Amino acid sequence: MKNVQDLSREEAIAELAALAQKIAAADNAYYQNDAPDLTDADYDALKHRNTAIETRFPDLVREDSPSLRVGSVVQSKFNKIEHRFPMLSLGDVFSIEEVDDFVLGVKRFLNRTEDIDFMAEPKIDGLSFAARYEKGVFVSGATRGDGIVGEDITENLKTLKQLPLTLPSGVPDVLEVRGEVYMAKRDFMALNEHNAAEKKKLFANPRNAAAGSLRQLNPRITAERKLSIWAYTWGEVSERQWSTQAEFFDKLALWGFPVNPLNKVCHSLRDIEENFKHIAEIRADLPYDIDGVVYKVNSIELQNRLGFLTRTPRWAIAHKFPAEQALTRIENIRIQVGRTGALTPVADLEPINVGGVLVSHATLHNEDEIKRKDIRIGDMVIVQRAGDVIPQVVAVRTDKRCADSKPFDFPHICPECGAHAIREENEAIRRCTGGLTCPAQAKERLKHFVSKDAFDIIGLGDKVIEAFYDDGIIRHPADIFTIEERNGRTENDLFTFGDEGLHLEHRNGWGKLSVDNLFKAIRARHIISLPRFVYALGIPQVGSATALLLAQNYGSFDALQADMMARETAKLVAIDGIGGEMGKDIVEFFNEQHNIDEIAALRKFVNIENYIDDRRKDSILSGKTVVFTGTLEKLTRAEAKALAQKFGAKVAGSVSSHTDYVVVGADAGSKAKKAAELGVKTLSEDEFINNCKG
Ligand code: IVH
């Protein structure tokens, strides 16, 4: 081999190309095929030679040079990247019966009787990434984050040897490939062994190790860790060149992305079941962790027709492996009091490792559940953990019970405030009647008010809320907005004499900086979106999806409050997704004096933005109320409804003066007649479909 100094420019170009190819092939053999074809020393020699040539000819560094993977740009914090298309999550099921229900639901939605093909893919237990390519060159990468905004991990992703930095010609100009970053089991064990020898932190499992390795401000650390990827879906693409998930995988493989060889098209529920059994059998022997199998409708056209629910696609689901179980002892049964006064029994357990996670509490649900299972303090019980759900007690080992154990007495008095705890007829839940005079309820409402989907005030975590409540600093949500004023002058001010402010900066665990940050976070919330505000109020049964529906249908808080206070419910109950019971709870909430006072107090400090649905404002359906009647021919009812909502319309069940359009199918009956009487505009199915474009 020639010395680097003696190489001509042409020779350098040729050798750099050959080296890039050889090193990529070696990486591939190591990661993809699990069969290294070079010794470590030979591999290092290739990389050294590559670096030496690049040092001599810096302008010849290739876009896919192996040296770009070392990670050189150190950041002080991660920048944010907004996903052009949200990175959604998947609904979970745990049994083949539930998979069956899912498949039936898909068929019903599409009005199909024949079988539909599904792609079955191992569900990789890692963390998802998005890699963006423009004109075939990798330009940026992001984590999932909250699904809307992720962290910019471009430099870190570059160091992953399996991720192609350039793509062959013919790929779409804009192509965002998404998949999972994971750490293989043997790489995880080697990392932990190494860390143990160096007395460094050990990772609990490969997933944590992968996350900790990828989210590094210094990408050199990422480069040192052995991380692998599987690609499985896409985000933005300028031109979709595939019409099924299977074709997409073929393209991915052609472009050089690792595609899991276990991905398999299933033609029937039987195929799905067999495949699941097979994957479960080989699970332990796979070189990486998986936690289930994902099913996706194979046809992209059908995927598009099926569309999305709030956070999950209607065309895919995750079939998780059964929950892990373990045996342990109940040390105590505690009663927790929730935001709406519900008394929930919780078992304190002798800590036990359940499938890799240390479990020390389990929910016991309610009074009847304890009675039904006869759960007692001191009992040995089987606990189970499934996915992210709170651990549960599945059964009591009565054969191991002490002779002197007594059935558990469920309290009829709130353990937090001493008020009566009552159970309405037909209700499973016993509730404290103390309302906001019960400190537990008040604290839970405050925690809800500042939580992520509500006011999202960083700095007011659960512990802080409890301490501030106990010390009388925050008793009501509105108190949050006067806290800065009440804090008093800071140490830096000249005239502190006679100042009796709160001086949070003197509290244990606080300093000037954290107090300033808290005030900044609170100040940023003087303006709040309508859905967040409605959700933050903590109306029983109203989660963030319902809060959004209310915002979409009323547009402003004043309109919502006025209708509710007047007990005017026609519009409310016409909203698809709000039932009678929920409607009652909403009206009651707005008519309770302490809630009226609380809202008034809050509005002195908080401006609630009106809700403008600007996602699809071009459609004539945007903001309008639509009613469907008769038999539709091209769309199923569910599909038509979803389509209308996608274009910003509200779907109601009956025609009234609030209705803007009635979509009339074949054999339409009384609703079409009523539309004519009220002079409501009608649309044919085709007219409706034509207005759902763009
Ligand atoms: S598809 C809209 N496919 O599971 C569908 N996800 O619970 C987007 N995951 O956030 C995801 N293996 O991190 C998909 N073969 C696979 C997957 C997979 C693992 C993860 C992914 C996602 C989570 C959803």
Q: Which residue has the higher pLDDT, 255 or 573?
A: 255
Whether 252 lines ligand 1, by a CB cut-off of 6 Å, is no
Whether 121 lines ligand 1, by a CB cut-off of 6 Å, is yes
Q: At what angle do helices 593-603 and 580-591 cross, to 10 degrees?
A: 70
CA of 378 to the centre of ligand 1 (A): 41
Whether 563 lines ligand 1, by a CB cut-off of 6 Å, is no
Q: Which of 20-24, 64-68, 431-435, 483-487 has the lowest mean pLDDT?
A: 64-68
What pLDDT is attached to residue 261?
96
Whether 90 lines ligand 1, by a CB cut-off of 6 Å, is yes
Q: What is the tens place of the pLDDT at every residue in 360-406?
A: 999 998 999 999 999 999 999 999 886 656 788 999 999 999 999 99
Sign (positive/negative) of CA torsion 551, 553, 556, 560?
Answer: negative
- Which of the listed residues 230, 294, 312 should we mutate to test ligand 1's pocket, taking the one with most ligand atoms within 8 A of CB? 294
Which CATH code is given to the segment(s) 625-690?
A: 3.40.50.10190
* N-terminal to C-terminal alpha carbon distance within the chain: 60
Please say whether the beta carbons of 358 and 351 come within 8 A. yes
Measure the CA–CA gap between 325 and 127, rounded to whole angstroms: 25
Q: Is the pLDDT of residue 564 over 90?
A: yes
- The CATH architecture assigned to 325-416 reads Beta Barrel (2.40)
Listed by start position, the domains of the chain span: 4-68, 92-320, 325-416, 438-525, 528-609, 625-690
Please say whether the beta carbons of 659 and 652 come within 8 A. yes
CA of 88 to the centre of ligand 1 (A): 8
What pLDDT is attached to residue 72?
66
Whether 128 lines ligand 1, by a CB cut-off of 6 Å, is yes
Torsion (CA) 594, 596, 602, 603 in degrees, nearest 10: -170
Equal fold, 4-68 vs 325-416: no
What pLDDT is attached to residue 693?
67
Residue with CA nearest ligand 1 atom 16? 123
Residue 641 falls in the annotated catalytic set:
no
- Specify burial of residue 118 (Cβ count, 10 A radius: 0-12, 13-18, 19+): buried
Whether 313 lines ligand 1, by a CB cut-off of 6 Å, is yes
- 684 Cβ partners below 8 Å, 6+ apart? 663, 664
Residue with CA nearest ligand 1 atom 22? 89
Q: Is the pLDDT of residue 121 over 80?
A: yes
Q: Is the pLDDT of residue 547 over 50?
A: yes
Q: What is the tens place of the pLDDT at every residue in 129-148?
A: 999 999 999 999 999 988 88
Q: Can you give the C-alpha Rg of the chain in angstroms?
A: 30
Q: What is the mean pLDDT of residues 148-168?
A: 93
Q: Is the pLDDT of residue 622 over 90?
A: no
Q: At what angle do helices 206-214 and 185-197 cross, to 10 degrees?
A: 70
Q: What is the mean pLDDT of residues 549-567?
A: 93
Measure the CA–CA gap between 470 and 43, rounded to whole angstroms: 63
Within 13 Å, how many C-alpha atoms sit on residue 179's CB side? 24
Q: Is the pLDDT of residue 494 over 60?
A: no
**Nearest partner of 43 among 69, 19, 17, 71, judged by Cα:** 19
Q: What is the mean pLDDT of residues 549-564?
A: 93
The continuous run of DSSP H or E covering 139 comes out as strand 137-143
Q: Which of 42-56, 225-239, 379-393 has the lowest mean pLDDT?
A: 379-393
Residue with CA nearest ligand 1 atom 12? 123
Confidence band for 617, pLDDT divided at 50, 70 and 90? low
**Nearest partner of 349 among 321, 389, 298, 391, judged by Cα:** 391
Which residues are registered as beta bridge partners of 308?
313
Q: Is the pLDDT of residue 278 over 90?
A: yes
Average pLDDT value over all residues in the chain: 90
Q: What is the mean pLDDT of residues 277-292?
A: 92
Q: What is the mean pLDDT of residues 217-232?
A: 93
- The CATH architecture assigned to 92-320 reads 2-Layer Sandwich (3.30)
Q: Is the pLDDT of residue 288 over 90?
A: yes
Share of the chain residues as helix, strand and coil, in percent rounded to the nearest 5: 40, 20, 40
Q: Which position among 2, 47, 107, 123 bears the catalytic label?
A: 123
Q: What percent of the chain has pLDDT over 70?
A: 95
CA of 123 to the centre of ligand 1 (A): 7
Confidence band for 486, pLDDT divided at 50, 70 and 90? very high
Domain 4-68's class?
A: mainly alpha
- Residue 311 phi, psi (nearest 5): -120, -5
Residue with CA nearest ligand 1 atom 10? 89
Q: Is the pLDDT of residue 497 over 50?
A: no
- The CATH architecture assigned to 528-609 reads Orthogonal Bundle (1.10)
CA distances from 219 to 182, 213, 468 (A): 16, 9, 40
**Three-state secondary structure string covering 239-307:** CCCCCEHHHHHHHHHHHCCCCCCCCEEECCHHHHHHHHHHHHHHHHHCCCCEEEEEEEECEHHHHHHHC
Confidence band for 94, pLDDT divided at 50, 70 and 90? confident
- Which of the listed residues 123, 234, 279 should we mutate to test ligand 1's pocket, taking the one with most ligand atoms within 8 A of CB? 123
Q: Is the pLDDT of residue 496 over 60?
A: no
Q: What is the tens place of the pLDDT at every residue in 319-333?
A: 999 878 889 999 999
Beta strands 380-385 and 324-337, pairing class: antiparallel
Measure the CA–CA gap between 439 and 451, rounded to whole angstroms: 18
Residue with CA nearest ligand 1 atom 18? 123
Q: Is the pLDDT of residue 67 over 50?
A: yes
- Which of the listed residues 93, 127, 128, 306 should we mutate to test ligand 1's pocket, taking the one with most ligand atoms within 8 A of CB? 128
CA of 89 to the centre of ligand 1 (A): 6
Q: What is the mean pLDDT of residues 402-411?
A: 93
Q: What percent of the chain has pLDDT over 90?
A: 65
Residue with CA nearest ligand 1 atom 23? 89
Sheet holding 625-629, edge to edge: 650-652, 625-629, 661-664, 681-684
What pLDDT is attached to residue 389?
66
Q: What is the mean pLDDT of residues 434-444?
A: 92
**Max CA separation in the chain (angstroms):** 92
What is the pTM (predicted TM-score) of this model?
0.65
Which CATH code is given to the segment(s) 438-525?
A: 1.10.150.20
CA of 533 to the centre of ligand 1 (A): 31
CA distances from 593 to 538, 544, 597 (A): 15, 24, 6
